[in-house]
Amino acid sequence: MNPVNETPYYMPKDATWLITGCSTGIGRALAELIASKPSHHLIATARDPSTLSYLPDNDPRILKLALDVTQPSTIGACFATAATHFGSQDFHLDVVVNNAGYSLSGDTESATEEQMHEQLETNFFGTVRVAMKAVEIMRQGPERGGGLVFNMSSLAGVCAFPGHAFYHASKYAVEGWTESVAREMSPEWNINFCLVEPAGVKTNFEGHSRTHTAPHPAYDDPEMSSRKLEVFVNKGLSMGMGLEPAVVAKAMYDVASQGEKIPLRLPLSSTAVNMMKMALQEKIKALEEVEGLAAVESPAKR
């Protein structure tokens, strides 16, 4: 397969960052971090820009914009406004962070058509739309040494748990799409992709950014796996378990600024690494168990 992210990425000292989903959590933490760097430029976006009031209004380095990743027209408008603000002739995006998203959880069998489509529309297609526009600008812009696209995945993009089927589907899709597109990039462009895969993070993701399917009576037994996971997650939330958003933001900034090759995948926390290892080991074991059945070949043509 074609290699990815072959060339070290050197982020410019005056890098321009565009971040989606900056109202809370990781997006907010990262926006605050970039805003604290005097030489950097920031395009902070959210569906409701009034939620970005924590950022200054009178700093020319910082642009706060409305962006709904499910609405292609707002994406185009956002990029056009940013280009005008920072200079249309030499506008270049150095780092784009696809952070907007939410979690749909609950009994899969009771999910509505609208819930299914909205989950994929936001988490997957929204990411795709922003990333493709970013690639277009990075590829055609002034010679600035390429660019970097962070796509927020999750431990849920590698390991699947009960009661989150459509959320997992969206993150698995982000993983596959990102790896495929990363392999399409010409080495000359030096456009890099990185999948950020944290385990639990102390955000409102399992609160305000989480929606539920209606309970299904067939799954109401407390011994059902999805019910047990709910208890575990709620207990963890009440105990304050998980990474601080600022820790995730710093890890992402360090990857962007280290002047080295960008990893295609960035699992964050020992929990994420260990659970991913276990998942891969289970897949290898399952593969070995069916290796005999898999040994089928088409008859040789004469």
With cut-offs at 50, 70 and 90, classify the pLDDT of residue 221. Answer: confident
Q: Note the pLDDT tens digit of each residue in 156-174.
A: 999 999 999 999 999 999 9
**Domain spans of the chain, in order of start:** 16-293
Q: Which fold has domain 16-293?
A: Rossmann fold (3.40.50)
pLDDT given for residue 207 in this prediction: 47
CA 193, 197, 203, 206 torsion-angle sign: positive
Tell me the residue type at 162: P
How many residues would you count in the chain?
A: 302
104-113, 138-147, 231-240, 251-260: which range is least confident on average? 231-240
171 is catalytic: yes
Please state, in angstroms and rounded to a whole number, the distance separating the CA atoms of residues 41 and 34: 8
pLDDT at 283 over 70: yes
Question: Exposed, middle or buried by CB within 10 Å (0-12, 13-18, 19+), for 189?
Answer: middle
7-21, 137-151, 152-166, 252-266: which range is least confident on average? 137-151
Q: Note the pLDDT tens digit of each residue in 19-54.
A: 999 999 999 999 999 999 999 999 999 999 999 999
Q: Note the pLDDT tens digit of each residue in 84-122.
A: 999 866 788 999 999 999 999 999 999 999 999 999 999
Point out the catalytic residue in the list 23, 64, 105, 171.
171
Point out the catalytic residue in the list 167, 202, 226, 269.
167
56-65, 88-97, 140-149: which range is least confident on average? 140-149
Point out the catalytic residue in the list 23, 103, 105, 153.
153
Q: Give me the percent of the chain exceeding a pLDDT of 90.
A: 78
pLDDT given for residue 88 in this prediction: 64
Please state, in angstroms and rounded to a whole number, the distance separating the CA atoms of residues 33 and 193: 20
- Residue with the bigger pLDDT between 65 and 232: it is 65
265-268 sheet: strands from edge to edge: 62-66, 41-46, 16-19, 95-98, 147-152, 191-198, 265-268
